[in-house]
Amino acid sequence: MPAKPGNKPSTFDNPSPGRDYLIHMEIPEFTCLCPITRQPDFARLALDYIPERKCLELKSLKLYIWSYRNQGAFHEAVTNRILDDLVGATRPRFMRLSAEFYVRGGIFTTVVAEHRKKGWKAQPALELQRFDLSSNTN
């Protein structure tokens, strides 16, 4: 049975809900239609999120993204709608969706939308010191 586009992404339980950790996904083949000309718009999506209790299941995410293939939407609207749907499904601590639309009329468009759970604060970035092993004096 062939896969069909889906309108709602599935989730699974976060295996480490007590820890902030980043999940990064890249979706290089997003397609929707220009709502005016009905010509296809192509984009690369980058999704970053810190889960709370739920994580996105990848196959359902793929089918959900596929559901936009024949929908007309402005870049700004579709980026925010996808973020709203993914936040609604997972209720993450943090989520950012970056949509880089390929050139149309000589213009590249990038839309970035973010969600932060009320009261959640990012931990300070941890910087690790690297050792220079090339200067070994043995």
DSSP letter, residue 15: S
- The phi-psi region of residue 16 (left if phi > 0; otherwise alpha if psi is between -120 and 50; otherwise beta) is beta
DSSP per residue, 80-119: HHHHHHHHHHH--SEEEEEEEEEEETTEEEEEEEEEE-TT
Instruction: Tell me which residues are annotated as active site.
Output: 34, 41
